[in-house]
């Protein structure tokens, strides 16, 4: 029944009949009354909803927050509603380590572990007044170092340290791991900075990188002469295996290693495998479980050899820097490098792996959420799915079907994380369009024999690539419009077994020297190698991406230009929230906003365009600048020595510039504050601006002022 006639429906039928005979005047009157009734009823319902944080309108939330003493935070990882709703829960457990740890995790969105350094201080018992240990204090922390406990020594100086330390009365630092160690986790276990251990200090170990799980990925065989070895990474590079955080965590308990997105600690994995073997080998084979603490279905990683799951008792934790073979019947796994090897005569034909890799954000090809950018299968005139073992199992077959259908506006979707490649050519018809995308949660690899050739006779034809990991280059002929979304064109085209770029002199995006090409290229949330577009190209747009070029023989090569020598300019370019790891030479820089350039930028036309909130190295020639560094820091500085010191301090520093490294292009936490907070909204410059990391840290410090017990001092320690 219509809500506008509820009052009229309550009348006896005889009155409604007579009212209809009179032309329904009563019905019209009650309709006016019902309109006012609905308005009042809505106001009452809104007032009732405003009593509860779950249903209150947005404008009411600050008032509810004031009632419970909630201080406003930047909305980075959660909404204002969520933050207010958690306040009372935090207050009930205020000051406890599990609560402080949950607070750090909820406020920042990073993995976090809180450590009371007071509990790790060495102290002696008074025999006249013995004090029993608290349950949370490890026995090892009250005496000398237990040098026979390898796992204890491996955890020394990290988030799970259980060794006694002497008192350090100096102020706790902001904290950052000390560089120079081989793996990310070993860096976190390096000698801590001054001021950690004291009776009034609480450490917050923070993991900024995320763990991105991949499932049913074909493992890649190592290059000769190590073909008995395999890589977890589809690129065949050393990649540390990350912990896939377990969902069965008790929120009232402190985090353990299996709950945090960190590299798997080799000695922890070794202990897990050996303990599992000792427990299950006495059991009959059919009763042996397929899972251990770190390995198995739903765990951090798993392996299937020729379609058969590998049980954990067959694994052997081993350093495979030299690709050593394991004993017969075992499979050696190096979780620090993401490698595994088989015994002599036991090499399989095929291996599939589930594992998680670490990275700062959802960028490039990956299994993260891309649903907002995907084209629904039913929204195009033609659709074709591709998967290994299906009716159409290669890109070439899908493109042949597309051509047979007359090259309509179409969509090709890859539904698995398989290996594709060979020669790929796309000839776009006039005004046509084609989308080639990976399905949500998939990361297919495209290994090209030649270039991925795209041709279009005239402007208006459009090709979109979404979610692909491409080993090779794209060649644009004619006048196509190309869009790269969440794709990776591997810098160097391929990677060696050591993770170095294979072809440092090759480009990722090229235009053949034929005719007068005028392509248009848009790159977003992607990682690409050098871009070679002529000045005649219509436009180059790069957003939220990383572009890297490598020197050859000590001679730098540009990231964006028309030629490898950089003597010819590229097209008019728009750069936003990106990191460019080499020089740039373009005809016109229409806009550069929140960009980090590691090498000089040269534009031919400086009268048009703008550069804002960006870092520009000395020697750059650009259009007008606004709030750029180091220009802003040098304002009013007349001393040349002081100016040089400021320039040196402001040079951006990164965790790693090697693409295979989890910390690739990530700004170090000890980089200059002007770079880490130099974005338009106070976030960092560069490709990872969207992470809003300065705001996350500020949120945490704001909350710690309220919830940290009086007199205690917090140390923020960045592990990754």
User: pLDDT tens across 611-621, in order?
Assistant: 999 999 999 99
Q: Answer yes or no: is pLDDT of 110 > 80.
A: yes
Its sign, for the CA torsion 697, 699, 701, 707, is negative
Q: pLDDT tens digits for 572-601?
A: 999 999 999 999 999 999 999 999 999 999
- Which runs of consecutive H residues, i.e. helices, occur in 155-193? 184-188
Contact between residue 552 and residue 493 where contact means Cβ atoms under 8 Å apart: no
Q: Looking at the predicted structure, is the pLDDT value of residue 337 above 90?
A: yes
Nearest to 628 by CA among 584, 675, 673, 672: 675
pLDDT at 332: 94
- Residue 174, pLDDT > 70, answer no
**Which pLDDT score is estimated for 605?**
93
* Bond before 482 cis per omega within 30 degrees: no
Biggest distance spanned by C-alpha atoms of the chain: 103
The three-state secondary structure class of 491 is: coil
Torsion angles phi and psi, residue 332, rounded to 5: -80, 135
User: What is the reported pLDDT for 688?
Assistant: 93
Task: Note the pLDDT of residue 151.
Answer: 81
Residue 12 has pLDDT above 70, yes or no: yes
State the pLDDT at residue 195. Answer: 73
Average pLDDT of the segment spanning 112-128 = 80
Mean pLDDT for the stretch of residues 110-117? 88
Is-contact 179 720, C-beta < 8 A? no
DSSP code of 719?
A: -
Which of the pair, 174 or 81, is modelled with greater confidence?
A: 81
Residue 649 pLDDT level (bands cut at 50, 70, 90): very high
pLDDT band at 1 (very low <50, low <70, confident <90, very high): very low
Q: Which of 249, 262, 259, 204 is nearest to 699 (CA)?
A: 204
For residues 192 and 157, is the Cβ–Cβ distance under 8 A? yes
Burial pattern 31-52, b for ≥16 Cβ within 10 A else e, equals eeebeeeeeeeeeeeeeeebee
Look at residue 329 and tell me whether its pLDDT is greater than 50.
yes
Residues in the chain, overall count: 720
The model carries a pTM of 0.88
Give me 654's structure tokens: 């990164």
What is the separation of C-alpha 577 from the centre of its chain, rounded to a whole number of angstroms?
15
Residue 519's closest CA among 535, 537, 541, 540?
537
Spatial distance between the Cα atoms of 442 and 633, rounded to a whole number of angstroms:
44
Structure confidence at residue 28 (pLDDT)? 82
In the numeric block, which tokens belong to residue 184?
């990310």
Residue 262 to residue 255: CA distance in whole angstroms:
12
What 8-state DSSP symbol labels residue 570? B
Average pLDDT over residues 193-205: 79
DSSP strand pairing (229-231 vs 302-305):
unpaired
Q: What is the percent of the chain where pLDDT is above 70?
A: 93
- Flag whether pLDDT at 350 surpasses 60: yes
How confident is the model at residue 561, as a pLDDT?
Answer: 94
pLDDT digits (tens, 9 = 90+) for 352-368: 999 999 999 999 988 99
**Half-sphere exposure at residue 441, Cβ-oriented, CA atoms within 13 angstroms:** 5
Let me know: does 696 contact 183? Beta carbons within 8 Å.
no
690 three-state secondary structure: helix
Percentage of the chain beyond pLDDT 90 is 46
Supply the pLDDT for residue 172.
Answer: 63
pLDDT, residue 181, reads 38
* pLDDT for the residue 389: 87
Instruction: Categorize the per-residue pLDDT at 180 as very low, low, confident or very high, splitting at 50, 70 and 90.
Output: very low
Mean pLDDT confidence for 339-349: 91
Predicted pLDDT of residue 458: 78
pLDDT tens for 136-147 read 555 555 556 777
Residue 453 has pLDDT above 70, yes or no: yes
Q: What is the DSSP string of 240-270?
A: PPBP---S---TTS---GGGSSSBPPHHHHH
Whether the pLDDT of residue 456 is over 60: the answer is yes
The pLDDT of residue 303: 93
Give the separation between CA 692 and CA 681, rounded to whole angstroms.
9
Angle at 420 between CA 418 and CA 426, to 5 degrees: 140
Instruction: Compute the half-sphere exposure of residue 206: CA atoms within 13 Å on the CB side of its CA.
Output: 26
Please report the pLDDT score of residue 183 as a whole number. 40
Pick from 122-136, 417-431, 495-509: least confident: 122-136
Are residues 204 and 187 in contact, defined by beta-carbon separation less than 8 angstroms?
no
d(CA 223, CA 558): 30
Position 184 pLDDT exceeds 60: no
Give 675 or 168, the one with higher predicted confidence: 675
Interior/surface letters 291-329, b for 16+ CB within 10 angstroms, e for the rest: ebbbbbeebbbbbbbeeeebbbbebbbbebeebebbeee
pLDDT-derived band of residue 132, with 50, 70 and 90 as boundaries?
A: low
Give 213's strand partners: 356
Rounded mean pLDDT of 255-270? 90
- Ranges of beta strands (E only) in 396-451 are 410-414, 419-422, 425-427, 433-438, 445-448
Strand partners, 69: none
Strands, E, within 564-687: which ranges? 573-576, 579-581, 584-593, 596-597, 601-605, 611-612, 625-626
Instruction: Scan for tokens 């040089």, then name that residue.
Output: 644
Whether 191 shows a pLDDT value over 60: the answer reads no
Distances (CA, A) of 269 to 92, 181, 315, 318, 409: 37, 19, 10, 10, 50
DSSP state of 408: -
Query: Cβ distance 122 to 165 under 8 Å?
Result: yes
pLDDT value at residue 142: 52
Beta-ladder partners of 317: 333
Rounded distance between C-alpha atoms, residue 184 and residue 177, angstroms: 9
3-state class (DSSP) for residue 59: helix
Q: Where do the structural domains in the chain lie, given as residue ranges? A: 3-49, 96-208+702-718, 210-359, 361-520, 530-687
Mean pLDDT of 224-248: 88
Backbone angles phi, psi at 139, to 5 degrees: -60, -35
pLDDT in tens, 373-414: 999 988 888 999 999 888 988 999 999 999 999 899 999 999
Average pLDDT over residues 150-170: 81
Region 64-68: mean pLDDT is 79
Q: What is the pLDDT of residues 511-562, one digit of tens each?
A: 887 777 788 999 999 999 999 999 989 999 999 999 999 999 889 999 999 9
DSSP state of 134: P
Q: Between these two residues, 540 and 245, which has the higher pLDDT value?
A: 540
Residue 136 has what pLDDT? 52
* Straight-line distance from the first to the last Cα atom of the chain, in angstroms, rounded to the nearest whole number: 60
For residues 434 and 428, is the Cβ–Cβ distance under 8 A?
Answer: yes
Which of 515, 516, 420 lies closest to 465 in space, CA to CA?
420
Confidence class for position 176, pLDDT limits 50, 70, 90: very low
DSSP code for 55: T
pLDDT tens digit string along 664-697?
999 998 889 999 999 998 999 999 999 999 999 8
Q: Which tokens go with 47?
A: 């007032």
> Averaged over 274-294, what is the pLDDT?
88
Question: What are the tens digits of pLDDT across the range 467-522?
Answer: 999 999 999 988 899 999 999 999 999 998 888 899 999 999 998 877 777 889 99
**Cα distances (angstroms) measured from residue 87 to each of 54, 66, 76, 179, 688:** 13, 11, 17, 37, 29
Q: Minimal CA–CA distance to 568: which of 578, 558, 555?
A: 558
Q: What is the torsion angle, in degrees rounded to the nearest 10, for the CA atoms of residue 67, residue 72, residue 76 and residue 82?
A: 0
Mean pLDDT of the chain: 86
Query: Where is pLDDT greater, at 458 or 243?
Result: 243
- C-alpha distances (whole Å) from 368 to each of 50, 200, 261, 439, 661 are 36, 40, 15, 11, 18
Beta bridge partners of 421: 447
* Whole-number Å distance between alpha carbons of 344 and 76: 52
* Radius of gyration of the CA atoms of the chain, in A: 30
Helices and strands of the chain, counted as H and E runs: 14, 38
Q: What is the pLDDT of residues 14-39, one digit of tens each?
A: 888 887 878 888 888 878 788 887 88
Question: What CA–CA distance (Å, rounded) separates 565 from 558?
Answer: 7
Rounded CA-CA distance 395/472 in Å is: 15
Cβ neighbors of 679 (< 8 A, separation 6 or more) are 577, 594, 613, 685, 689
């Amino acid at each position: 029944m219509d809500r506008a006639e509820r009052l009229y429906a309550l009348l006896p039928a005889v009155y409604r009949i007579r009212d209809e005979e009179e032309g329904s005047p009563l019905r019209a009157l009650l309709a006016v009354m019902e309109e006012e009734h609905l308005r009042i009823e809505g106001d009452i319902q809104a007032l009732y909803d405003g009593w509860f944080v779950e249903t209150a309108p947005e404008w009411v939330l600050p008032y509810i927050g004031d009632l419970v003493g909630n201080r406003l935070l930047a909305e980075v990882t959660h909404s204002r509603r969520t933050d207010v709703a958690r306040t009372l829960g935090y207050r009930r457990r205020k000051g406890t380590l599990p609560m402080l740890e949950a607070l750090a995790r909820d406020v920042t969105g990073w993995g976090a572990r809180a450590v009371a350094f007071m509990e790790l201080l060495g102290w002696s018992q008074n025999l006249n007044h013995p004090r029993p240990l608290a349950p949370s204090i490890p026995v090892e922390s009250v005496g000398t170092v237990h040098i026979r406990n390898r796992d204890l020594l491996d955890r020394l100086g990290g988030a799970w340290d259980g060794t006694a330390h002497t008192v350090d009365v100096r102020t706790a630092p902001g904290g950052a791991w000390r560089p120079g160690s081989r793996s990310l986790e070993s860096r976190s276990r390096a000698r801590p900075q001054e001021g950690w251990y004291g009776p009034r200090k609480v450490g917050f170990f923070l993991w900024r990188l995320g763990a991105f799980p991949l499932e049913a990925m074909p493992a890649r065989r190592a290059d000769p002469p190590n073909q008995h070895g395999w890589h977890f990474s589809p690129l065949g590079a050393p990649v540390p295996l990350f912990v896939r955080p377990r969902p069965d965590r008790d929120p009232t308990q402190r985090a353990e290693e299996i709950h945090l997105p960190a590299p798997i600690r080799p000695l922890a994995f070794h202990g897990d495998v050996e303990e599992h073997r000792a427990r299950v080998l006495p059991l009959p084979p059919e009763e042996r479980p397929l899972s251990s603490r770190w390995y198995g279905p739903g765990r951090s990683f798993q392996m299937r050899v020729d379609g058969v799951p590998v049980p954990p008792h067959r694994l052997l934790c081993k350093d495979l820097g030299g690709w050593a073979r394991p004993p017969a019947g075992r499979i050696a796994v190096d979780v620090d490098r993401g490698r595994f090897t088989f015994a002599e005569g036991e090499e399989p034909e095929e291996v599939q792996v589930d594992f998680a890799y670490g990275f700062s954000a959802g960028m490039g090809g990956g299994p993260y959420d891309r649903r907002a950018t995907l084209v629904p299968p039913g929204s195009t005139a033609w659709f074709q799915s591709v998967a290994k073992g299906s009716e159409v199992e290669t890109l070439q077959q899908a493109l042949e079907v597309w051509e047979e259908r007359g090259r309509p506006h179409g969509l090709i979707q890859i539904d698995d994380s398989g290996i594709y490649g060979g020669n790929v050519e796309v000839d776009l018809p006039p005004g046509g369009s084609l989308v080639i995308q990976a399905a949500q949660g998939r990361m297919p690899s495209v290994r090209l024999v030649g270039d991925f050739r795209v041709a279009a006779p005239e402007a208006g034809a459009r090709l979109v690539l979404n979610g692909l990991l491409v080993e090779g280059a794209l060649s644009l002929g004619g006048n196509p419009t190309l869009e790269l979304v969440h794709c990776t064109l591997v810098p160097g085209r391929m990677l060696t077994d050591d993770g170095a770029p294979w072809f440092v002199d090759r480009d990722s995006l090229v235009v053949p020297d034929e005719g007068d090409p005028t392509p248009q290229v848009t790159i977003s949330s992607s990682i690409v190698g050098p871009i070679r577009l002529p000045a005649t190209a219509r436009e180059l747009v790069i957003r939220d991406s990383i572009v890297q070029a490598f020197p050859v023989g000590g001679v730098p090569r540009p990231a964006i230009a028309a030629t490898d020598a950089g003597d010819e300019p590229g097209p008019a370019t728009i750069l936003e929230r990106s990191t460019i790891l080499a020089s740039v030479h373009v005809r016109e820089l229409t806009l550069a906003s929140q960009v980090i350039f590691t090498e000089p930028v040269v534009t031919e036309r400086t009268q048009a365009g703008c550069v804002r909130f960006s870092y520009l190295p000395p020697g750059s020639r650009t259009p007008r600048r606004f709030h750029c560094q180091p220009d802003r820091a040098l304002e009013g500085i007349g001393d040349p020595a002081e100016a040089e010191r400021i320039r040196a301090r402001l040079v951006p520093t990164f965790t790693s510039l090697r693409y295979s490294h989890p910390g690739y292009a990530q700004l170090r936490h000890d980089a200059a504050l002007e770079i880490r907070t130099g974005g338009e909204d106070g976030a960092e410059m560069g490709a990872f601006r969207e992470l809003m990391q300065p705001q996350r840290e500020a949120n945490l410090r704001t909350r710690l002022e309220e919830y940290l017990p009086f007199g205690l001092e917090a140390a923020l320690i960045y592990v990754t």
